[in-house]
Amino acid sequence: MATLVSLALAPQIYGGLVAYALWLHFQAGGVEALLVLLLTQTILPLLPILIDTRRGKIDIFVTERVKRWKYYLLTLLSYMAGIAYVLERDLSMYVPFYASYTLIATVMAAITLRWKISVHTAGIAGPTTVLVYMLGLDKAFLYLLLIPVAWARHELRAHTAMQLLAGAFVAFVLTLIVCSTIPF
């Protein structure tokens, strides 16, 4: 069950769901924008992990901290492509979303050089904060997803309680900073 929760609520999957929720709310950019949002939030960040898992180079959760850097870099490139797209198309309502993801991924990558921090809890806390900030407090119930995610990652012995809390806290704070400084 813990593996299933970890897979279903993986940062790339939840990022795509949040992108879809924002697209539904703003109704901006048409189907093309939705496809780019899903491509740059879910497909491109997840594809290298799936390929390398299939090849036996890593496990699906990239458990080995030293191997995570490559996937952070590829994910950052995907987010930057998303930012370039929304700026080019004048879809500024999506910029805080991408900017928060980019900042979180950058900081998490830097932390990962020294310490294993939970990308899963960050992947719930950051995007949920975007939704709450941009769409309203009625989305705050989504923070409850941190409970099964933290349980699953701890149950799988992937993270300590401190690593789980740190991931959520760092993502929450960085997202607040981004959303309070970048208008949408």
Among residues 130, 121, 135, which one has the least CA distance to residue 170?
121
Find the radius of gyration of the CA atoms of the chain: 15
- pLDDT tens per residue, the chain (184 residues)? 999 999 999 999 999 999 999 999 999 999 999 999 999 999 999 999 999 999 999 999 998 888 999 999 999 999 999 999 999 999 999 999 999 999 999 999 999 989 999 999 999 999 999 999 999 999 999 999 999 999 999 999 999 999 999 999 999 999 999 999 998 7
CB atoms closer than 10 angstroms to residue 3: 12
For the chain, the straight-line distance linking the first and the last C-alpha, in angstroms and rounded, comes to 38
Closest residue by Cα to residue 148 from 52, 34, 51, 5: 5
Q: How far is CA 147 from CA 6, 111, 165, 167, in A?
A: 12, 23, 11, 13
pLDDT tens per residue across span 59-81: 999 988 889 999 999 999 999 99
Domain boundaries, the chain: 2-181
- Give the integer Cα–Cα distance in Å for 50 and 58: 9
Q: What is the pLDDT of residues 31-60, one digit of tens each?
A: 999 999 999 999 999 999 999 999 999 999
* Residue written as token pair 């699953």: 152
